[in-house]
Structure 1
Amino acid sequence: MPDRQVIADFARSMGIATSGLRAQAGRMRVISENIANADSASTTPGGDPYRRKVPTFSSELDRTLDANVVTLGRVMPDTSDFRVKHEPGNPAADAAGNVKYPNVNSLVEMTDMRDAQRSYEANLNIIHATRTMIQRTLDILKS
């Protein structure tokens, strides 16, 4: 029978990787919201449009696993300036004819999305490798 510590280490690895999957999935949700709203304008003349959101991560101790896991922390507003275009005929224009657009840069969002995708895949690879190791251990014990 496998050593209890080995089983605990496998469970710990799977739990840590699963927390990474959850955190990156949350990050992707925020990125997708940013991309979806990249070209939206305010519904009121001179009003503020959608403000880009920035996900944060935090580490916390999972007492069940006795390991530090990652969680999606607070989603913070990006305080950078809105993009402004002179469009006097736009219903969202202020008195000077300027329209504010979200402070979302699609190139930055796509780069962040690619990074989140790679991190997600890395955590999936850890889960797959751990499952393979568990299966090999069980196969050795059966023989």
Structure 2
Amino acid sequence: MGLFSGINISASGLRAQRVKQNIIATNLANAETTRTKDGGPYKRQSVVLKENPDEFDYRQVFGPKRMEGNTTHRHHMAIPKPDFPIITEKIGSGVQVDSIEEDKEPARLVYDPTHPDANAEGYVAMPNVNVVQEMTDMIAATRAYEANVTAMGATKGMLMKALEI
């Protein structure tokens, strides 16, 4: 783990939350779009995040180790003795955008026979965007962004303090 790993982890979170906010803004801007290039109503999009590949593994420092134990999850380890020292988890290294996916929910049908996109029965296929949910998601993404800025500031403060030593 390098000197600037904390800043890099926070920066990856900032990038991910920026993409989330952009997608949410696009969803909100198209909440009433009934005709896209494809001919149908706009389909809500969502961001799928994944953990960055680990940049640090204890085996890099200590070498490969063999041990016996039971696992139920990759981060859970049953240690044979309580005084047996071992690092059981890798150190994370932030997040990245895995994909941007279209929501599979069907379009909402709204009765409006005067709308130019109405079908023969007078129904209009409206986007599957819930404005209230999108605003809630935007608040959560904004708070996550702010938390990453705060974490980056704290890391910077610790690095500055370390330079004083």
Which TM-score tier does this pair reach, normalised by the shorter chain? 0.7 to 0.9
State the Cα distance separating 1:69 from its structure 2 match. Answer: 2.2
Q: Distance in 1 between matches of 2:52 and 2:160?
A: 30
Of 108, 114, 121, the match for 1:89: 114
Q: Once the two structures are aligned, what percentage of the paired residues are identical?
A: 35
Cα distance in 1, alignment partners of residues 51 and 44 from structure 2 = 24
Judged with a 3 Å threshold, the aligned counterparts in structure 2 of structure 1 residues 43 and 31 are, in CA distance, closer, same or farther, namely closer
The range that moved more, 81-90 or 15-24, is: 81-90
Question: How far is 1:82 from its partner?
Answer: 1.2
- Note the C-alpha offset of 1:76: 0.9
**TM-score, scaled relative to structure 1:** 0.82
Backbone CA RMSD of aligned residues:
2.0
Q: Which runs of 5+ in 1 are unaligned?
A: none
**Structure possessing the higher relative contact order (Cα contacts under 8 Å, 6 or more residues apart):** 2
Alignment partner, residue 124 of structure 2: 99
1:104 positional shift: 0.3
Superposition pairs for residues 1-143 of structure 1, below 5 Å? 8=2, 10-42=3-35, 47-61=39-53, 63=55, 67-138=92-163, 140-141=164-165
The answer on whether the counterparts of 1:12 and 1:67 sit within 8 Å (CA) in structure 2 is no
Q: Which amino acid aligns with 1:18?
A: A
TM-aligned CA distance change 1:131 to 1:100, over 3 Å: same
- CA offsets per residue over residues 16-59 of structure 1, 9 Å max, x none? 11000000100111100000000111269xx5200001111011
Question: Bigger radius of gyration, 1 or 2?
Answer: 2
Instruction: From the two aligned structures, give the one with the greater helix fraction.
Output: 1
CA distance in 2, matches of 1:43, 1:50: 6
Is this contact kept in 2: 1:43–1:92, CA < 8 A? no
Deviation at 1:133, TM superposition (A): 1.4
Would you say how many aligned residue pairs link Structure 1 and Structure 2? 130
| Structure 2: unaligned runs, 5 residues or longer | 57-90
Moved segments of 4+, more than 4 Å: none
Please state whether the residue corresponding to 2:4 is helix, strand or coil: helix
